[in-house]
Chain A
Amino acid sequence: MRILIVDDSKAMRMIVIRSLRQAGFGDAEILEAPDGVQALEVIRSEAPDLVLSDWNMPDMSGIELLRAMNAEGLSVPLGFVTSESTAPMRKQALEAGARFLLAKPFTADALEQALSGVVG
């Protein structure tokens, strides 16, 4: 399994990677991108099985990334891992096809639970 982690913070990408290992995804190949623009390039070229994306990033936000994926017909499951989790954002995310929105700070258990309905 290949998982793309999109976050402008390298430190937070590392936290997500560590949490994925703790959640039982230690064998996954991890790809990284610091913003939506670079993430879109990685999705086009590497075809990951799952995208975990921050929301608030420079250049292209997480929701803009998801809408760009939809516009290009890139049907990779995407879940948001973000510090912002208001009801309007959840609505926007789900309407755009996000599989879940996990609020930071999160635990490995919470990530495992969020992923349980998305990947086997």
Chain B
Amino acid sequence: MQLSHEDVRQIVGDIFGAMLGLSVAERETAVNGARRITGCVHVSGGWEGAVAVDCTEALARRVAGFMLGLGAEEASPEDVRDAIGEVANVAGGNVKALLGTECALSLPTVTEGIDLRLTIPGARTIVDLGFESEGEPFRFLVLEKAQDR
């Protein structure tokens, strides 16, 4: 699969900038033990892999607050999981549109914690780009599973 960094920048800009109205810039920033929330969707079919958005809990709260029209502290944990799952779902749908092959997208899954590491057995990370939104770091990841055939 050929997914350029420019494709990823476009997807991230469309989601965080155009849809959510948040500031966003490509920037490598260490998360340093902060609590994180990762939204992930899996793709199966002609291409197999996953697309994930891994962000700090602080950014996840801001995203949820914006989407729901609430203050960041007013969003419930369920709201935050829903919002980050949906961001991953939109990201996955946009990556899927670039694949040029028939695929299915899973419903999103959300993982929370510190020192999270996303792995899929038999898959390699083909995109791992750092961004910053509203002063908080996040990462955009694409994992590709090796084709059996």
Contact = CB atoms under 8 A, between A and B. Distances in A.
Interface residues of B, number: 25
B69 A104 contact: no
Contacts of A86: 96-97, 102
B67 A83 contact: no
B83 A105 contact: no
User: Taking chain A's interface residues, is the majority helix, strand, or loop, or is none over half, making it mixed?
Assistant: loop
Contacts of A58: 107
Interface string A72-106: 00000000001111101000000000000001111
Contacts of A10: 68, 79, 82
Nearest to A106: B19
Contacts of B130: none
A107 B19 contact: yes
A113 interface: no
A44 interface: no
Contacts of B69: 14, 18
Interface of B: 14-15, 18-20, 64, 67-69, 79, 82-83, 85-86, 89-94, 96-97, 102, 105, 107
17 contacts: A9-B83, A11-B79, A11-B86, A12-B67, A14-B69, A18-B69, A57-B107, A83-B94, A84-B105, A85-B97, A103-B94, A103-B97, A104-B19, A105-B19, A105-B20, A105-B90, A107-B18
Interface of A: 8-12, 14-15, 18, 56-58, 82-86, 88, 103-107
